[in-house]
């Protein structure tokens, strides 16, 4: 199937899903806005829906930033590895940058796998893209991988530390199999890089 037809099919799926959910938002489901990514997949097609819309079409501008277990202790836990910035600092940086990029951020952290899965489910048909640092679940969670497979938009995986320089069990990521891109070892700056990439993939970047 061509990129345009994949985009159209995906848009139709979103439209149906929204109609089912009856959330009272009108879909702008065209394949025209489809922007192919390097892997020809996981790219927003102008079909996402949101409370925050622009004047051209009802394109979602929401990016869900998900953080896995122990990241609530960021800044305190192993600062020699993860740095001294707290998760609140990261959130503030993300919100500042999102404003510049014309995006809206939903920023969440959980130590519970099921909660992360539920948030991914709720993102379907509503959120433009997902930035996820699954933390330790990266290396263990088929369930998070499966949930991400059910999400239509781009996904950028972030790791603050360079997991490839660390223990061997950290070299394997289940999530990478579904990610459009992976940012590793750039410290907390990785979140900003991920947001910029999502903005480019969903066509939200001003310039
Ligand atoms: C964070 C964690 O908590 C670890 O379990 C991962 C990741 C690496 C990070 O670098 O952000 O192995």
Q: What's the confidence (pLDDT) of residue 205? A: 53
Residue 176, both tokens? 């990478």
Please check whether residues 116 and 188 belong to one and the same domain. yes
pLDDT at 3 over 60: no
185's tokens:
């070892």
For ligand 1, whether the C-beta of 183 sits within 6 Å is no
Among 27-31, 46-50, 58-62, 137-141, the minimum mean pLDDT is found in: 27-31
Q: What confidence score (pLDDT) does residue 59 get? A: 72
160 lines ligand 1 (CB under 6 A): yes
pLDDT above 60 (res 116)? yes
Q: Rounded to whole angstroms, what are the CA distances from 69 to 89, 112, 128, 134, 177?
A: 17, 7, 24, 7, 20
- pLDDT given for residue 4 in this prediction: 34
For residue 63, pLDDT over 50 is answered with: yes
Q: Is 133 in the pocket of ligand 1 (CB under 6 A)?
A: yes
Does 121 count as an annotated binding residue? no
Q: Cβ contacts of residue 44 below 8 Å, gap of 6+?
A: 33, 35, 59, 60, 128, 129, 153, 154, 201, 202, 203
- What is the CA(33)–ligand 1 centre distance, in A? 35
Whether 135 is in the pocket of ligand 1, judged by its Cβ within 6 Å, is yes
Residues 120 and 156 in one domain: yes
Q: What is the mean pLDDT of residues 19-23?
A: 33
Distance 81 CA to ligand 1 centre (A): 9
Per-residue pLDDT tens for 134-174?
A: 999 999 999 999 999 999 999 999 999 999 999 999 999 99
Mean pLDDT of 46-58: 45
Residues 10 and 85 occupy one common structural domain: no
Q: Which pLDDT band, with edges at 50, 70 and 90, does 8 fall under?
A: very low
> 107 - beta bridge partners?
65
Kindly give, in sequence order, each residue whose CB lies less than 8 Å from that of residue 203, ignoring residues fewer than 6 positions away. Answer: 33, 35, 44, 46, 59
pLDDT at 206 over 90: no
Q: Is 160 annotated as a binding residue?
A: yes
Tell me which of 111, 138, 140 to substitute to probe ligand 1's pocket, judged by most ligand atoms within 8 Å of the beta carbon. 138
**Can you give the residue range of the structural domain that contains 98?**
60-206
CATH at 91? 3.40.50.9100
137, 139, 143, 146 alpha-carbon torsion, rounded to 10°: 120
Whether 112 and 201 share a structural domain? yes
Could you tell me if 47 and 121 lie in one domain? no
Question: Predicted confidence band at 42 (pLDDT cuts at 50, 70, 90)?
Answer: low
Give the residue, by CA position, lying nearest to ligand 1 atom 8.
135
**Residue with CA nearest ligand 1 atom 3:** 135
Residue 26 has pLDDT above 90, yes or no: no
Question: Do 143 and 193 fall into the same domain?
Answer: yes
Q: What is the pLDDT of residue 163?
A: 98
φ/ψ of 73, rounded to 5, equals: -95, 10
Q: What is the DSSP letter of 137?
A: G
Q: What is residue 96's DSSP assignment?
A: H
Q: What is the mean pLDDT of residues 174-181?
A: 98
User: How many structural domains is the chain composed of?
Assistant: 2
Nearest CA to ligand 1 atom 5: 136
Regarding whether 117 and 28 lie in a shared domain, the answer is no
Rounded average pLDDT over 75-98: 98
Band (pLDDT 50/70/90 cuts) for residue 106 is: very high
Is 146 annotated in a binding site? The answer is yes
What pLDDT is stored for residue 32 in this prediction?
35
Q: What is the dihedral of CA 162, 165, 166, 167, to 10 degrees?
A: 130
Compute the distance from residue 125 Cα to the ligand 1 centre, in Å.
Answer: 28
């Amino acid at each position: 199937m061509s990129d345009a037809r994949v985009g159209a099919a995906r848009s139709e799926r979103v439209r149906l899903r929204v109609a089912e959910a009856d959330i009272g938002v009108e879909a702008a489901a065209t394949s025209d806005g489809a922007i192919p990514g390097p892997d020809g997949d996981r790219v927003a097609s102008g079909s996402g829906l949101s409370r925050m819309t622009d004047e051209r079409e009802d394109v979602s501008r929401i990016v869900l930033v998900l953080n896995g277990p122990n990241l609530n202790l960021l800044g305190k836990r192993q600062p020699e590895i993860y740095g001294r910035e707290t998760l609140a600092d990261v959130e503030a940086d993300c919100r500042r940058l999102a404003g510049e990029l014309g995006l809206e951020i939903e920023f969440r952290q959980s130590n519970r796998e099921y909660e992360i899965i539920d948030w991914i489910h709720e993102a379907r048909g509503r959120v433009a893209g997902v930035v996820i640092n699954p933390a330790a679940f990266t290396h263990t969670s088929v369930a998070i991988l499966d949930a991400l497979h059910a999400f239509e938009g781009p996904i950028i995986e972030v790791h603050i530390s360079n997991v490839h320089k660390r223990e061997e069990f950290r070299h394997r990521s289940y999530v990478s199999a579904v990610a459009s891109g992976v940012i590793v070892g750039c410290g907390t700056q990785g979140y900003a890089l991920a947001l910029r990439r999502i903005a480019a993939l969903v066509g939200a970047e001003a310039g």
